[in-house]
Structure 1
Amino acid sequence: NIHLVFGCRTQKDLLYFDELSQLEKDLPGFHYYPVLSREEWSGRSGYVHTVYEDLVVEKQPATFFLCGWKAMVDEAKLRILNLGYDKKMVHLELYG
Structure 2
Amino acid sequence: MRSKKDLFFYDEFRQLQQKYPQLVYLPTLSREQWEGKSGRVQTHLPTDLTGKTFYICGIKEVVLETKEYLLSRGVAPENIKGERYN
Amino acid at match of 2:20: L
Larger radius of gyration: 1
Residue 43 of structure 1: CA displacement?
1.6
Aligned to 2:73: 83
Amino acid at match of 2:27: P
TM-score, normalised with respect to structure 2: 0.76
C-alpha distance in 1, partners of 2:53/2:28? 20
Q: Which runs of structure 2 are paired with 1:22-37 in the superposition (5 Å)?
A: 22-37=15-30
Amino acid at match of 2:21: P
Q: Please tell me whether residue 74 in structure 1 is matched to residue 64 in structure 2.
A: yes
| Corresponding residue pairs, total | 86
TM-score, normalised with respect to structure 1: 0.70
2:50 and 2:75 in contact (8 A); partners too = no
Change (3 A) 1:24 1:37: same
C-alpha distance in 2, partners of 1:11/1:59? 26
C-alpha distance in 2, partners of 1:94/1:15? 13
Aligned to 2:51: 61
C-alpha distance in 2, partners of 1:38/1:46? 8
**What is the Cα-based RMSD across aligned positions, in Å?**
2.0
Q: Please tell me whether residue 20 in structure 1 is matched to residue 20 in structure 2.
A: no
Q: Please tell me whether residue 38 in structure 1 is matched to residue 31 in structure 2.
A: yes
Amino acid at match of 2:7: L
Counterpart secondary structure, 2:26: strand
5+ unaligned residues in a row in structure 1: which ranges?
A: 1-7
